[in-house]
Amino acid sequence: MTPRFIALIAALWAAGAFAQSPVIRQGEMCDPCVPPSVAKSMPVGRTPTQGAALRAEVEQRLRAPFDAAARDGLLTREQALAAGLGHIATNFDAIDREGRGAIRFEDYKRFLKERGAALD
Amino acid sequence: MPEASFFYVAYTLDGAAPATRPVTFFYNGGPGSATVWLHLGSFGPRRIATGAPDHSGPTPFPLVDNAETLLDVSDLVFVDAPGSGLSQAIAPNTNSSFWGVDVDAAVFRDFVMRYVDVNNRGSSPKYLYGESYGGPRSGILASLLESAGVHLAGVVLQSPAMDYTSNCDGIENQRSCLAYLPSYSAAGAWHGLATPSPAPAQIPDYMQQMRAYATTTYAPAIAIFLTNSLAPEALLGPLQGYTGMQASLWRQRFNMGPTFFRNNLRGGVQYGRYDARVTGPPGPTGNDPASYLISPSFDTRIAEYLTNELQYTTPSSYVSLSDAIMFWDFRHGSLPVPDTIPDLGAALAMNPRLKVLLMSGYHDIATPFFNSERDVARLASPNVTVKNYIGGHMTYLTDDSRARQKADLAAWYGSTP
């Protein structure tokens, strides 16, 4: 297959005009390095999590945006939408199994687990 | 409220049905790097022929048609982070407003959602392809997109630094370097310094042996060494054999980090960090021939390509590499540096059909393949596929590996977990 293509160059929200300019390269690439100030605070004694400890961290990643958008632990579809939590808003009726109009994190977690999420 | 002006180059197939035509977002890392490496080095329609790992041809290396472009499989969007390439913050933001682990991922989420919306790609299978720091960016970005209701089909992790707490570089006195050993062995074999020094075709099998040695013999010895600073004599001979590094130097640096390795494998030579097959004269510590031998060609060619081939001109300067890393807010979660395996786990929890493909180079001693394998193994997920290649951090610069990688990518895009 020889694909035909068009090259689109765009700057979203901005347009430019134009003459060639130099390329700037500040230093030498060092990825994944950190500056000395960060290196000093590296968590050297940490053992990377796995199993239940990792699943707890995964749950915390899911819980944080939920809690930030909820009031007293309860989240409505409108609150989910306003917070950009499209996954919850789209699936709200399936998560809100009892039709209360507001869900708790445990409702969302149960929904995810029923769909195959590796959570405890 | 506009946040930033994202610069990207998109290659899209005319007449394809958006519902079935994948679209892939590519970005390099740094942080602070433009996506010039992936754009002009990997699977775009044009590529810079660097001759890796030899790099001895006339420079700037030529820009040639890419027989291994991924455009037959997916539309390709190469996008630069704010403050790199031609991407810039919009006032009152400054570029540094987006120089942090979480704000960076969030603004990339906003870019992807905006691109999908403007280009009517809501129903297209969507993929992320991040390299190096682009790996941890992808872990968080995948979670943010899934949370926002934008389902991804897959995430490619090219030589990623998913967990900054698992790499020993720079803190060898406190953290085990066990996961570097197989890469040192591959490097020693490439240069004929190790015993044995298997040919490249035998490296995949040989690395299985080295993973086992690193895990069952070297790792427990390092754990003891970190408590008593005594290098076990019985292991120095085998380590010399496996790597080509003198036993006396293993005694000196038993928990050996990559900078020491590439400056001391042989006198009078400096081995590459991004690709230990590449050599140069001794220089200041940290000076990487696998980087400085190719960077000027990428800088020259991207400027020519944008201006002459794509007919895009601008008074702004193209920033191949900014100093963002010096100002970056590396904090994420409860840690001072990011561990993004939990974020990738969150993305998988929200989308159990999400595919993850880890691709690394055996000779990369910046993000060693075994370290990345151990990082993603924490997920214990059947959705994760691992592929390794002869070559460095940018596996795609090596012609034979680029062809293999393209074939593996094509098969993976067509697969379902």
End-to-end CA distance of chain B: 38
Q: Is the pLDDT of residue B56 over 50?
A: yes
- Residues B351 and B386: their CA atoms lie apart, in Å, by 19
Q: How far is B343 from chain A (nearest CA, A)?
A: 6
Task: Quote the CA–CA distance of B102 and B100 in Å, as a whole number.
Answer: 6
Question: Mean pLDDT across chain B, nearest whole number?
Answer: 96
Contact by Cβ (8 Å): B274, B291: yes
Q: Per-residue pLDDT for A69 more than 50?
A: yes
Q: Which of B341, B344, B416 to mutate to test the interface with A (most CBs of A within 10 A)?
A: B341
Task: Output the six-digit token pair for B121.
Answer: 């790609």
Chain A interface includes B292 (CB < 8 A): yes
Q: Is the dihedral of CA B90, B91, B95, B101 positive or negative?
A: negative
- What local confidence, expressed as pLDDT, does residue B19 receive? 85
pLDDT for the residue numbered A18: 37
- Asked if pLDDT for residue B300 goes beyond 90, the answer is yes
Q: What is the DSSP string of B254-306?
A: SS--HHHHHHHSSTT-EE-SS-TT-EE---STT--HHHHTTHHHHHHHHHHII
pLDDT on residue A4? 36
Whose CA is closest to A7, among B187, B77, B302? B77
B389-399 pLDDT, tens digit each: 999 999 999 99
The pLDDT assigned to A19 comes to 40
Answer whether residue B255 shows pLDDT above 90.
yes
Predicted pLDDT at B213: 98
Cβ count near B212 (within 10 Å):
11
pLDDT of residue A41: 85
- Pairing mode of beta strands B7-13, B75-79: antiparallel
> What's the one-letter identity of residue B30?
G
> Does B113 contact chain A (CB < 8 Å)?
no
pLDDT digits (tens, 9 = 90+) for B189-209: 999 999 999 999 999 999 999
pLDDT at A21: 56
- What phi, psi does B163 have (nearest 5°)? -130, 105
- Output the pLDDT for position A43: 83
Strands B88-89 and B4-5: antiparallel
pLDDT band at B142 (very low <50, low <70, confident <90, very high): very high
Question: Are A3 and B300 inside 8 Å of each other by CB?
Answer: no
CB contact under 8 A, B314 and A18: yes
**Residue A8: pLDDT over 70:** no
Q: How far is residue A79's CA from residue A70's CA, in Å, rounded to a whole number?
A: 7
Give the pLDDT confidence of B97-129 residue by residue, as tens digits.
999 999 999 999 999 999 999 999 999 999 999
Give A29's contacts in chain B (Cβ within 8 Å): 30, 33, 274, 288, 291, 295, 321
Alpha helices in B305-340 (DSSP H): 324-327
Test the A interface: residue of B145, B176, B337, B351 with most A CBs within 10 Å: B337
pLDDT at A20: 45
The yes-or-no verdict on residue A10 having pLDDT over 50 is no
The residue count for chain B: 417
Q: What is the pLDDT of residue B103?
A: 98
Phi, psi dihedrals of residue A28, rounded to the nearest 5° = -110, 140
Q: Where are the alpha helices (DSSP H) in B293-359?
A: 295-304, 324-327, 341-350
Q: Given a cut of 60, is residue B364 above it in pLDDT?
A: yes
Q: List C-alpha distances in Å: B309 to A9, B66, B102, B304, B305.
A: 12, 15, 35, 7, 5
A17-56 per-position pLDDT tens digit: 334 458 999 888 888 889 988 988 888 778 999 999 999 9
Which one of A2, A60, A61, A66 makes the best mutation probe of the B interface by having the most chain B beta carbons within 10 Å? Answer: A61
Q: Which of B165-174, B272-281, B350-359 has the lowest mean pLDDT?
A: B165-174
Q: What is the pLDDT of residue B285?
A: 64
